Structure 1
Amino acid sequence: MEPKAAIDAFAALAQETRLSVFRLLVQAGPNGLTAGDVAARIGVPASTLSHHLGLLERAGLLRSWRVQRQIFYATDYEGTRRLLAFLLEDCCQGLPELCGPGIAEAIDCCPKPTVDA
């Protein structure tokens, strides 16, 4: 991952609503949620949510797809993996085992999507 892409991803997450949306969609898994479900669970108007979802998607952290009249959103697990790997690639001078347990698990935490985008 290029530094600019990492900066864009962190900037997208550096806002309370977007961070809440991202965490909700991580919990929801690869099948995601409809935009309406996200709005209801987060408690923001659909018009406001649309802006936040778009920003997270452009940052490579979410993906979306349409099913009839509904738009679904889910975590872009590959984008999330790239961001985690970028953060940890030089951990402890190339010896991630020195950083403590869980570093490898953090990078490999994200499941592969089960639906086609």
Structure 2
Amino acid sequence: MNSPFYITNIILYPEVAFTGDTTTDFMLDPHNADALRAKVLITEATFLDESYSVDHARQHGHTHLFEIMENSQWIRNKAVVLTHFSSRYSIEDIHLAVSKLQSKVSAKVVPLTQGFKSIYR
């Protein structure tokens, strides 16, 4: 006798969300709220410090880490993977900047530096 198939869990949010190369406008758009509730959010953090302004990042279609910090209250992900760092930074710069973000975001923040090429290498 075959037992019937039952759905026992209904998941109303995505497992993984990927923003691609974008500004932080996606965080403020209500249509993207599910991305900020996905288990894992993969997003860019091209600029990390004062050497490039938020306006510079926006003019070039990128996200500045300061903007992620500023909008951290919307991030409900269990993990946030940061990508697309400017090659002007070293891996050490990236890890230092991410440690500052971790205190603002309750999610686990991980910089994806595998294959990253810095001009300082």
Q: Same fold (TM over 0.5)?
A: no
Structure richer in helix, relative to its length: 1
Q: Shorter-chain-normalised TM-score: which range?
A: under 0.3
Choose 1 or 2 for highest CA Rg.
Answer: 2
Q: With structure 1 as the length reference, what TM-score do the two structures score?
A: 0.27
